[in-house]
Chain A
Amino acid sequence: MGFIVKVECASETIDLSLESIQTLEFSTDTPKDSNARSTDLGSTVKITGKILTAVDGDPADSTVKLSLWSMVPVEKADCYRKLTVDVISAGQVVRQINLPNAFVVDYQETYGDTEGVGTFSLIVKQKKDKLANIVLNGGYPAA
C-alpha cells in the first residue's frame, strides 16, 4: 500500500509521497468506561515515515516543514492545518482521510549511526469542536 500525505495552510503546503510514508493509523476514541455513546469523541491520525537524504541534487523532502509545523505556537492561526491522507493500493484509493482543522499532538524524529535514513512519527488530532467536518472517503480509482 502507498500513502500520499498533504498538509495545507495559508502560507505553505507540505507534500509527502509514496517513498516516505511507512504506516498510517486512523482512530476514533471515546472514554472506555462510558455506559452509553459519549460526546467526548476524539479523532487521531498517526503517521510514521522515513526522512530521506537528498542525493544527486534532488530537493530535500518536506519533513523539515513537518517539524516546523510541530513548533508553531497556539497563538498562530496556522497551527491548525488541513490534512489529507490517501491510502492507495492496486490503483484504488482505499481510503481518503480529511481533517480540515488538524493540530500536532506529538512529533518525533529519530536518527541512528547504523542507518541511512531517519524516521519520523507524527500524531495529529482534529480540533474537537470541528469533528463534524472530518470527511472519510474511499473505494474509487486513483487519479
Chain B
Amino acid sequence: MGFRIKIEGGTESIELGLQSLTQVKFETDTPNDSNARSTDVGMALAISGKILTAVDGDEADATLKLANWSLVPAEKADCYRKVTVEVIAAEQVVREIYLSNAFVVDYKESYGDTEGVGTFKLLIRQKKDKNNLVEYKGGFGLQ
C-alpha cells in the first residue's frame, strides 16, 4: 500500500508521497471504563515515515516543514491545519481521511549511524470540538 499526505494551513502546504511514508494509523478513542457511549471522543492520526536524503540535486523532502509545524505555539492560528491522507492500493483509494483542524500532539525524528535514512513519527489529533468535521471516505478509483 502507498500513502499520500497533504497538510495545508498557514502559509504553506506540506506534501509527502509514496516514497516517504511507511505507516498510517487512524484511531478513535473513548474512555475504556465508560458504561455507555461517551461524549469524550478523540480522533487521532499516527503517521510514520522516512526522512530521505536529497541526492543528485533533488529537492529535500518536506519533513523539515513537519518538524517546524510541531514547534508552532498554540497562540498562532496555523498550529491547526487541514490534513488529507490517502491510502492507495491497486489504483484504488482504499481510504481517504480528512481532518479539518488537526494539531500536533507529538513529533519525533530518529537518526542512526548505521542507516542511510532517518525516520519520523507524527501524532496529530482533530480539535475535539470539531470532531464532526472529520471525513472518512474510500473505495473509489484513483484519479
Interface residues of A (CB under 8 A from B): 1-3, 18, 21-30, 32, 34-39, 41, 43, 87, 89-90, 92, 94-95, 131-132, 134, 136-140
* Residues of chain B contacted by A134 (CB below 8 angstroms): 71
Chain B positions within 8 Å of A, measured between CB atoms, are 42, 51, 53-55, 59-61, 64, 67-68, 70-71, 73-75, 79-80, 103-113, 115-118, 127-129
Partner of A138, one of B60, B104, B129: B60
Is B55 a contact partner of A92 (Cβ separation < 8 A)? yes
B74 touches A1 (CB 8 A): no
A104 CB, min distance to chain B CBs, angstroms: 20
- Residues in B neighbouring A1, C-beta threshold 8 A: 53, 111-113, 115-118
Q: In terms of DSSP, what is the predominant structure of the interface of chain A?
A: strand
Say yes or no: A131-B113 contact (C-beta < 8 A), given A35-B128, A90-B55.
no
19 pairs, A vs B, C-beta closer than 8 Å? A1-B113, A1-B118, A2-B113, A18-B113, A24-B112, A28-B67, A34-B105, A35-B42, A35-B127, A36-B74, A37-B74, A37-B80, A38-B74, A92-B53, A92-B55, A95-B67, A95-B111, A131-B73, A137-B64
